């Protein structure tokens, strides 16, 4: 399959602070990616480099096969919706939509109107006077109606209630099925989107710590609970991502090498096995070892 994004040993530093550190990965066409991690982990910095809004300190970056910087052909295929998007002062929602229409080649006017109705957006109202949730909804409308071959949503739901977020996920999936494209969802509400994702990248402290098929990941981790000695014996030679002692018991989350065999082994030694959700797994992977967070570029 064709690679939409190829990132090789990418670095971005602000003075002594490494916002992105030696990161390499690829993204394939028409998949939905989850870019997950805590706030300040470097997600936005990474996406801003992919969309040529900021410049890498070093490393190689290819989007649709070439450097995106000042490349009209590539940039016209990208729509990047970020939480901090600024709009001109006097703009109304209608103004934003009209400009989007003339910029994005695949813009679907009817779809944008449907979305405006869905999210109950007042077309004539000035952007400045919108609530936080409405502002997020405007971003979502642009991101969906642009139908860009590479669509990136960076925490697009600030201020939106659960119903509106559900609406976003529904419309995204409906439209994705009919018009497949590469989608990157950057979020920390992992539980809400985990079922939508095909592939997951986790970034922590500027480093890529996980790059895996969502389905593989889902079956990979599980938690065992039992007497400390028994659990410790079981853990030997396994990748433990989290451990929590409780009285004489120990609860540990492990990544299994082969689905099934490890569980059987645990069951055989009388340990209790429970599944781990993606959210829990990623929280385990990204917590504990986090150092003092530096400033991240807006």
Partner 1 sequence: MKNLIDDGRPIFVQIAERIEDDIIEGGLPEEAQVPSTNQFAAFYKINPATAAKGVNLLVDEGILYKKRGIGMFVAEGARVKVIEKRKELFFEQYVITMIREAEKLGITTNQLTDMIQRGDNKR
Partner 2 sequence: MNNITGVLKLHYRDKWSWIYIPAIILFSSFAVNLIVSFLFMNQEDMYTGGITSIVIYVFVAGIMVVGKTFSFAIGMSIRRIDYYIGTAIIGIISSALFTSLIFLFAQLEKVTDGWGTKLHFFHFSYINDGALIEQFTLYLILFLNMFFLGFIISSFARRFGYKGMFIGALVTLLLGSLAIFLLHHFEVWGSIFSWFANHTAVQIAYWLVPLTLLYLLGSYRMLRRAVV
The contact set with partner 1 (CB under 8 A) reads 31-32, 169-170, 173-174, 176-177, 191, 194-198, 214-216, 218-219, 222, 267-268, 270, 274-279
Report the distance separating Cα 157 and Cα 174, nearest Å.
18
Report residue 284: phi and psi, to 5°.
-60, -40
158 binds, among partner 1, partner 2, none (CB under 5 to 8 A by kind): none
- Residue 240, token pair as written in the block: 């433990």
279 binds, among partner 1, partner 2, none (CB under 5 to 8 A by kind): partner 1
100 binds, among partner 2, partner 1, none (CB under 5 to 8 A by kind): partner 2
Q: How far is CA 260 from CA 166, 221, 264, 293, in A?
A: 34, 11, 6, 38
* Cβ neighbours of 291 (radius 10 Å): 6
Q: Closest distance between partner 1 and the C-beta of residue 291, in Å?
A: 29
Applying CB under 8 A, the span of 33-41, 79-87, 193-201, 254-262 interacting with partner 2 comes to 79-87
Report the distance separating Cα 154 and Cα 151, nearest Å.
10
276 binds, among partner 2, partner 1, none (CB under 5 to 8 A by kind): partner 1
Residue 89 interacting with partner 2 (CB under 8 A)? yes
195 binds, among partner 1, partner 2, none (CB under 5 to 8 A by kind): partner 1
Beta carbon nearer to partner 1, 104 or 222: 222
Sequence-ordered alpha helix ranges (H) in the chain? 43-50, 72-75, 93-103, 109-118, 132-145, 162-178, 190-193, 214-220, 228-235, 261-268, 278-286
Report the distance separating Cα 261 and Cα 282, nearest Å.
23
Would strands 32-36 and 182-187 be described as parallel, antiparallel, or unpaired? parallel
The binder of partner 2 chosen from 30, 71, 106, 280 (CB under 8 A) = 71
Q: Does the CA dihedral 101-105-109-113 come out positive or negative?
A: negative
Beta carbon nearer to partner 2, 105 or 219: 105
Q: Exposed/middle/buried for 15, CB within 10 Å: 0-12, 13-18, 19+?
A: exposed
Residue 66 interacting with partner 2 (CB under 8 A)? no
Residue 103 interacting with partner 2 (CB under 8 A)? yes
Beta carbon nearer to partner 1, 66 or 174: 174
Beta carbon nearer to partner 1, 237 or 260: 260
78 binds, among partner 2, partner 1, none (CB under 5 to 8 A by kind): partner 2
Which residue's entry shows tokens 């801003």?
Answer: 48
The binder of partner 2 chosen from 91, 118, 133, 269 (CB under 8 A) = 91
The binder of partner 2 chosen from 31, 43, 82, 218 (CB under 8 A) = 82
Q: Exposed/middle/buried for 40, CB within 10 Å: 0-12, 13-18, 19+?
A: middle
Binding residues vs partner 2 (CB under 8 A): 48, 51, 53-55, 70-72, 75-76, 78-80, 82, 85-91, 95, 98-100, 102-105, 148
């Amino acid at each position: 399959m064709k690679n939409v994004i190829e990132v090789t040993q990418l670095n971005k530093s602000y003075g002594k602070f490494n916002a992105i550190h030696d990161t390499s990965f690829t993204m394939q066409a028409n998949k939905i990616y989850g870019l997950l991690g805590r706030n300040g982990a470097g997600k936005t910095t990474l996406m801003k480099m992919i969309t040529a809004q900021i410049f890498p300190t070093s490393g190689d970056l290819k989007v649709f096969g070439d450097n995106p910087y000042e490349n009209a052909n590539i940039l016209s295929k990208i729509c990047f919706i970020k939480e901090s998007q600024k709009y001109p002062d006097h703009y109304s929602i209608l103004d934003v939509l009209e400009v989007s229409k003339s910029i994005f080649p695949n813009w679907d006017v009817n779809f944008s109107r449907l979305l405006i109705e869905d999210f109950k957006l007042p077309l004539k109202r000035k952007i400045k006077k919108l609530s936080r949730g409405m502002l997020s909804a405007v971003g979502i409308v642009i991101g969906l109606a642009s139908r860009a071959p590479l669509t990136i949503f960076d925490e697009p739901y600030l201020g939106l209630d659960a119903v509106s977020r559900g609406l976003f996920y529904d419309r995204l999936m409906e439209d994705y099925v009919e018009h497949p494209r590469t989608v990157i969802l950057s979020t920390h509400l992992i539980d809400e989107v985990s079922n939508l994702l095909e592939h997951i990248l986790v970034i922590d402290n500027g480093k890529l710590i996980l790059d895996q098929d969502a389905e593989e990941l889902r079956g990979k981790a599980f938690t065992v609970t039992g007497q400390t000695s028994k659990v410790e014996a079981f853990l030997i030679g396994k990748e433990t991502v989290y451990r929590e002692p409780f009285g004489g018991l120990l609860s540990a989350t492990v990544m299994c090498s082969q689905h099934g065999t490890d569980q059987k082994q645990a069951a055989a030694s009388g340990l209790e096995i429970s599944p781990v959700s993606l959210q829990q797994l990623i929280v385990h992977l990204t917590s504990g070892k986090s150092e003092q967070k530096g400033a991240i570029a807006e």
